[in-house]
Structures are given as C-alpha cells and as structure tokens.
Amino acid sequence: MKFKFTFWKLVFAVIMVAGIYATAVRFAQGLGASTNLSDQFPWGIWVGFDVLCGVMLAAGGFTLTAAVHILNIKRWHSIVRPTILTAFLGYALVSLALMFDLGRPYRIWHPLIMRNPHSVMFEVAYCVMLYTSVLSLEFSPIVLERFKMEKALKIIKAVLIPLVIFGVILSTLHQSSLGTVYLIMPTKLHAFWYSPLLPVFFYISAIAVGLAMTIFESSISSKYFGRQLELPILRELGRVLYIVLWVYTILRFEDLLHRGMLKQVLVNSYEMRLFWLEVILAMIAPIVLLSFRKLRNSPGGLYLIAVMVVLGFITNRLNVSITGMEGTAGGHYLPKWTEFAITAMIVAAGFALFGLAAKYLPIFPDEKEHDAAAEEPKAVPVTAAVMTNAGD
Amino acid sequence: MSKALLYDATLCIGCKQCEAGCAQQNKLPYDDHIAAEDVTSDHKFTTVMTRSDKFFRRLCMHCQDPACASVCPVGALHKTANGPVVYEENRCMGCRYCMVACPFGVPKYEWSKVLPKVQKCIMCPDRVANGQPTACAEACPTGATKFGERDELIKEAQLRLHDNPSNYVPHIFGVEEVGGTSVIMISGVAFEEFGLSPAKLPKDPLPIYTYRVLSRIPDFVPLGGAMLGGVWWITHRREEVAAAEAEEKSKKDGGTR
C-alpha cells in the first residue's frame, strides 16, 4: 500500500512536531519556561482542558455501558465499543497530560502509598486509576477477540456486569468530584460558578457530554470509515440528551436564583459574557434545536447539536477553572504557545489512536456480527426471538 | 498548647528586620533588591508592605484547619500540634492544589526550576519545638511581631484594642477567619488595604466545604452498587421471563401439532 499524503496528515505532522518541541522545552526548562502559569494562576489549560475536559469527554464510556448492560437497552449495543474506546483513550491521555502538568511527574505514584483521604484530589486520583483499569478490562474483549483468545474472553464476560457496576460507581464519584475540587474555594471562584451544587452540575453535564460525544464520534466514524450511520440509535440518544439538558438547565438557573445571582448575570461584565457563551452553547441552543423534530431526526442536525453541547461544556469547565478564577487572581491568564502545542498534540494523538484502533481492531459491529454469524449461526434466531419478546 | 504570632501593625516601623531574619533562618538570598519586593514569593516568605506611611506584614497565616493540608493528595502539608503548618518536600508531586485552595495565596512555586517545590513560611518549626520564638519575632526590634501561646496572644490583642480603641480598627484578624489562624493580626488601617478581607472570609474552616461531600462516599459506594445491581436484576429478569414464556408457548404449539 502506498502512503498517501493528505491534508489531515499534514496537519497531524505539524501538530506533532510542535508538540514534541514543546515537550522538550517543558522537561528541559520546567513549568516557568513552558507555561504562563504563576503564583497567582497556578492551574492553566493543562488542568482546565486536558484534565477537566478530558475526563468529561470520556464520560460516554460509563453512560453507554450503564445504559446497555445495566438498563439492558440492547439496541444500543452496537455503539458501546467505540464509546469504550473513546473513554479508554480519554483516560490514558488525561494521565499523559498529568505528566506534563505535575511539577514532579515521576512522583505520580505517590498517592498509592501517601494517602490523604480528606483530599478530593486523592479521591479523584484513586478513582481515575481504578477506572482506567476497569476501562482497560472492558476494552480487552476487543483485543482478545482480534487475537482469538477464547479463554481470557470467557473470564472477562463472566465478570462483565460487576465490572460495569464498579465502573459506573467510580465514574459517578470522580466526575462529580472534579466539581468538588472547587468547593474549597468559596472566596476565589466567581459566584456565577461557585455553588454547593458544583459536584451535581459536573456529574449531570458529564452524562450530557457522554451522550453528545457518542453522537459526535458515530457521525465522524460514518464519514471517515465509510460506515453506515446508526441513525435510529443516535435519534434516541438525542432525545435522552434533550431531557438531560433540561434537567441541567433548570438546576443551574434554580441555583442562581437561590444564590441571588439572577440579576448579576444580566449585568455586563467579562464573566457575564463568558457565562452566557456557555449557557447559549451548552443549554439554550441545543435545547431549542432539539425541540425541532426535523433537526433532531436528521444526521446533520444531531451532529451540530452534539458539537454545540461538547463545546458548551468545554466552555463551562474552562469558565470554572480559568474565567471564574481570574477576578480574584487579579489578572488574565492566556496560555503560552507551548501549552497550546502540548494540548493539541494530546488531542491529535487521541484522534490518531482512535483511527488506528478502528482500523485494526473489531471496534465496529459490522465485522463482529459477521464473525458471530459465521461461528454460531444458531444463536442468532434465539436472540432475535428474545429481543422481539422483550418488548411485551 | 499551640503557639502563635501576634502582629501589631501599629507598632511596625517597616525596618524589615523580620524579612532579613526569615531569609537567614531559611537560607534564602536577601539584599536591597529583594527587600524592595512587595510580595511574598518562592524566595521571600514574609514581606512588609508599605502604603504611604503605614506598614503591614504578610506571611503564612498557619490556619488552625488549613485548606492547603486538607487538599494535598499526598499529605505533604500538615498542621503540627505546636501550631506551624509544615511542608514535606519529598512527598510533593507538584499538583499545586494547595496554591489554588489557600484563601490567602500563601504557597508559592519555584516556577523557574526544572524540579520545583512549594515554598512558604513554615513558622520555624524546629525553633518552636525547642521553645524558641520564630526568627522573625526574634528579629523584630519593636515587638510588632510577638511569639507566644495563641490563647494568651488573643487576650493581649483584645487588651490592646480595649486600652487604645482609637489606634485600631475594631477587629482581631485570625480569631475566627476560616476557623482561626495561628497568626493573629491587629491594625490601625483597614485590613482590606493590605489584601485581607475579613468580611469575605467564612468563619467555617474551608476543609468543611469539601468534607461535607467527601464524607458521603463510604455510604454511596455500597448503596450505589446495590441499586445498580438491583436495576440490572430487574431489567434482565424481565427478559428471562419473556424468553421462558416464549419457550413454553413454542412447546405448547409443538405439542398440539
């Protein structure tokens, strides 16, 4: 096969070269030379985007496994694998990003033996560590199938349900805890975002983003891997997303009301503009668009809505971690080019790894169903019968 | 009993002897250039700020229930029984949560170093353990910084405010703020002028805000597990029943034929 040089490969190459150079600067000269962080602004986009958004964008893993394996929504089964892949890559890349952000990355294992259970960060570290292990086990059947390791496959299948339950619990804990991280800063985080309900907001929005990311990656996969779009499934996800967004929006505004902030969000300020950017992108626009039947049923409409929700909640996480902290820090923070370069490299690596996995592993159901049909042709009618009966 | 410092800004003459003493004790560089720096940093743990003819000293407040120690995932910071909040460099992995969590912006980072550590006033724990005053208190020529028992120093501050009410703003900083601190401050000008806002700081220790949520986790895990397991059982039981019924139906159909 001849190597074709496409536009996206060129973009990827440029990002990688810049990222590798930035990596050299980071580790040879330290955080001061490679970031615009300071004593007034100790956390930048490596925390606000790479960690907070990275974990949020990987939330499709627990949302979809819970829906399919716990709630037993069998018809969604065909999209579970790509979401588990996204989640697994997401958490792996969050861990990688931490290696850049930690002042002493070689001590990343310290929480294993130096425990402070009063620290939210400690809890998040443990949950992320355990959940990454759970994800790799949930992901392992894909690899085991590829190499036809039947015995190991059987073991994983036997423990799948407890594994999924454990994964959902761990996700619930750390997705919400990333909000709890900010509860200790009542004097620092701007009142638009500081709320005792932060953990709840982080959790519900993670579910919304998990659904939106599933729609997003299904749409992209169908475009770039020439797969058929699972439109009926995406439509259902869109409806669930609609409900989740309503719940989130109502809670957010009720919270603002109770904290006496509803008037403030109408007074023009730097924070106010970014607050409304978040509200429009993550809440108002997707809810309005989803209420049109034509849009929520069309592939293009769903794709647009999913992208908006993802961008909207990325804005939310950046508002909590950066915008909301600028007022008390007394100054604006703009990331240095090296910070952007490393973040871009990590995101690009995520896309590339997803592409590679999709190419070489049985991620999408088409191939898998062929195999299953060839190996156990009798199984198909039985499950079909069960599925038609499950509805009564 | 826990030791503390009482800083009385009305007695401070801005001589910066405390800064010099601190630098010497902590083996930090100190010269005229550093003396002129108005803020604390990775190489300056205390600073005497000047606003017109008024002086005010800033340093780690050594909270009774410190946010920095509570948030540190590896327990690199902790409050000692004597009063000082100390830092164990060998544990720190550099997440900088302490810096973000501190309501006074005290912990500083060695940004210019490849392998940085957190830097802050640690209230001379070795000296305090030996019953000696901190280096800054010892260096102070006017008694503006005084070392002693926390309870007694609070009483003394109350007495000074009572005896000379016109000299002071009517507030003792550090008695109630964020659950109390081991550095007690009284001043002739508003604390806000020097970056401390008693009105904005909660009376509760900050760790309570996260602990309220964290303490629910041990209950949540078994409860969540049982609930999810229950939902799984219900949704799959329905399916089994449906399958069994279908089988029975087909058997019956087979029998009649």
Per-residue pLDDT tens over the stretch A100-146: 999 999 999 999 999 998 999 999 999 999 999 999 999 898 888 88
DSSP labels, B144-176: SEEEEEHHHHHHHHHHHHHH-GGGS-S--BTSS
* Contact yes or no for A179/A203 (Cβ under 8 A): yes
- pLDDT, one tens digit per residue, over A190-203 is 999 999 999 999 99
The phi, psi pair for B7, rounded to 5°, reads: -110, 120
* CB-based burial, A19-31: b 16+ in 10 Å, e otherwise: beebbebbeeebb
Q: What is the CA radius of gyration of chain A?
A: 22
Low-confidence ranges of chain B (pLDDT < 70): 1, 254-257
Helix (H, G, I), strand (E, B) or coil at B87: strand
Find the largest Cα–Cα distance for chain A: 69
Can you tell me whether residue B186 is helix, strand or coil? strand
Tens-digit pLDDT profile for residues A321-348:
999 999 888 888 999 999 999 999 999 9
Q: What is the pLDDT of residue A2?
A: 59
Contact A32 B206 (CB under 8 A): no
* A374 CA: distance to closest CA in chain B (Å): 24
Query: What kind and span of H or E run contains A194?
Result: none
What percentage of residues in chain A have a pLDDT greater than 90?
A: 70
* pLDDT tens-digit series, residues B63-81: 999 999 999 999 999 999 9
CB atoms under 10 Å from CB of B24, counted, come to 12
ipTM of the modeled complex: 0.89
- pLDDT value at A384 more than 60: no
* Apex A39 CA angle, A269 and A192, nearest 5: 30
Check residue A382 and give its pLDDT: 37
Distance CA A134, CA A123 (A): 16
Number of A/B CB contacts below 8 angstroms equals 181
**The token pair that represents A79 in the structure block:** 């999209």
How many angstroms separate the CA of residue A176 from the nearest CA in chain B? 10
Burial of A326 (0-12, 13-18, 19+ CB in 10 A): middle
Q: Which residues of B touch A167 (CB under 8 A)?
A: none
Optimal mutation site among B47, B95, B233, interface A, most CBs of chain A within 10 A: B95
A299 pLDDT above the threshold of 80 = yes
How far is the C-alpha of B118 from the C-alpha of B63, rounded, in Å?
17
Residue B76 to residue A330: CA distance in whole angstroms: 28
Q: Which residue is it, tokens 């109502």?
A: A250
A157's tokens: 């299948």
User: CA-based angle A320:A324:A325, to the nearest 5?
Assistant: 105
Q: Considering CB atoms only, which of B76, B112, B228 is closest to A32?
A: B112
Confidence (pLDDT) at B255: 53
Do the Cβ atoms of A100 and A46 come closer than 8 Å? yes
Residue with tokens 């007074």: A267
- What stretch of H or E contains B91? none
pTM for this model (two decimals): 0.90
State residue B244's pLDDT score. 86
Q: Under an 8 A CB cutoff, do B114 and A120 touch? A: no
Mean pLDDT rounded to a whole number for chain A: 88
Q: What's the pLDDT score for residue A391?
A: 35
Of B109, B201, B206, the CB nearest to A103: B109
Q: Helix (H, G, I), strand (E, B), or coil: what is residue B48? A: strand
From A128-142, A218-232, A372-386, B26-40, the region with the lowest mean pLDDT: A372-386
Beta-bridge partners for B41:
B44
Helix (H) or strand (E) holding B3: strand B3-8
Q: What amino acid is encoded at B147 in this protein?
A: F
Residue B204 Cα, gap to closest chain A Cα (Å): 11
Rounded mean pLDDT of A4-18? 89
Confidence check: pLDDT of A375 > 90: no
Distance in Å, alpha carbon of B35 to nearest chain A alpha carbon: 19
Q: Which residues contact B96 (CB under 8 A, 6 or more apart)?
A: A42, A43, A103, B107, B109, B118
Residue A377 has pLDDT above 50, yes or no: no
